[in-house]
Amino acid sequence: MPTDHAPLLGLPPSLNAPLIERLTARVAAAADAVQVTTNAPYTGAPLADLPVSTPADVDAAFARARDAQAAWAVTSMRERKKILLRFHDLVLERQNEVLDLMQAESGKTRRDAFLEVTDIAITARYYARSAPGLLAPQRRRGAIPLLTRTTELRHPKGFVAVVSPWNYPLSMAAGDAIPALMAGNAVVQKPDTQTAITALWALDLMHEAGLPTGVWQMVLGRGSSIGGALMDNADYMMFTGSTASGRRIARDAGERLIGSSLELGGKNAMLVLDDADIDRAADGAIAACFPSAGQLCVSIERMYVAEAVHDEFVARTEELRIGAAYDYSCDVGSLTNPAQLDTVTAHVEDAVAKGATVLAGGKARPDLGPLFYEPTILADVTPDMTLYDNETFGPVVSIFPFRDVDDAIARANATPYGLNASVWSRSGARGRAVAARLRAGTVNVNEAFAAAWGSIDAPMGGMGDSGLGRRHGADGILKYTEPQTVAHQRVQGFDPPAGVSHRAWPPS
């Protein structure tokens, strides 16, 4: 049984009323806006009252963005870089404040929150340093050598709408806005209301770093209320969330002939080969399955393991410390909202009723807090069970033994999703060969997800029902730009010189 920590009785001192009031004042909403109250997952206690934006508020935010973006687009790359690097420094200097915020709003452990701090610091530094080269004019081969000078330019799209989720409130909010801003766009963002304070903290810090007013704004509200206004005003849509919502956004963006980038669901697989380091693979499996209580798009929900690792993995899970603490003493925290607890509970109960075996966990822990659920491992999972091929998005993993690696690869690929995967082997060559056969946008060898996610110079995204487009790397900023080809024809055009027939003048 995991080690338990008693529930917290209050919020950390850094989450004081003046801070919350300052941050909520940055929401683009009317002074008399309707208010909505969020609750702390650890305890269920009220956390913050937030203003709700209307479609008219969204329209007004884009109107303010038009003037701001025109000036921002002609701001030198050097000045944009300075702002991002100042933001990088401020994130690290003030990390304790945002760590408290993330834990209070999402219920995750401090170590999971800290990964978001490092992620955003790395992202800001990478695009500050890389964007000048990636966005600089590029010489291209001309139509006629020496006579045609062709240059590719990159212009900002203009107005980017970012819709970010609750599960990684700093990484998903700031991480997608940073390259859009660096490319010269204005951003109007709708973070999830449950974790909006964290997103607003990032916005506040970016303004402290020197970002002009109006270039990055935030609105709050349900997608059913303000999503249409975001789509109507945007030149590009960046969305992270469910596959069902992503399909609707892709359809609407297609109707408007604007681009979109969508990171959606996953049913990610981990393969532990027969030559894996068992101790290392067992530790890696824990890190793969239960970060942020399993509420991570790239976490592992299916494990295909050589029979040798099975018992060790189960034993390691039983050592996990579950609970609430504003320090680094817990391994697994709380789910974030009641809907996720309902989904996790329903998936496990359905599986057990249909014959699945609970190897570890398998139940909610209301004694620790209203939304805690034990890290759970299930065996004997079959296709008739809901969680077999549907994303659970919680601390639940199904384990399947295998003997033939080709069969394991085929079973791992038997899903409409294709976001992330993990392969474990003592042979790097063998691990990479298996990885190349998996249908997933990122595959990690001897790591869970951090190696691919942290390789920020490489693209990250999904295949199939896991989405369209990529974040990170060159793709992560170029998608926010419009390429323009400028071709300067010099000396001689495409018509033949005087006295030369068309038949004798095929330029090549």
468 contact partners, CB below 8 Å, separation of at least 6: 246, 250, 260, 261, 262, 461
Beta-strand relationship, 300-306 and 396-402: parallel
Beta-strand relationship, 259-263 and 236-240: parallel
* Distance in angstroms (rounded) separating the CA atoms of residues 401 and 395: 20
Q: Phi and psi of 290, rounded to 5°?
A: -120, 15
* 289 classed as catalytic: no
Angle at 231 between CA 228 and CA 235, to 5 degrees: 165
* 263 classed as catalytic: yes
Specify the amino acid at residue 467: G
Catalytic hit among 263, 374, 391, 447: 263
Q: Which DSSP category does 146 fall into?
A: T
Catalytic hit among 297, 301, 374, 447: 297
324-to-106, 320, 321, 334, 367 alpha-carbon distances in Å? 11, 13, 10, 7, 11
* Distance in angstroms (rounded) separating the CA atoms of residues 494 and 257: 34
Specify the amino acid at residue 352: V
Residue at token pair 């060159």: 474
Three-state SS letters, 256-295: HCCEEEEECCCCEEEEECCCCCHHHHHHHHHHHHCHHHHC
358 contact partners, CB below 8 Å, separation of at least 6: 348, 352, 376, 377, 378
Q: What are the residue numbers of the active site?
A: 263, 297
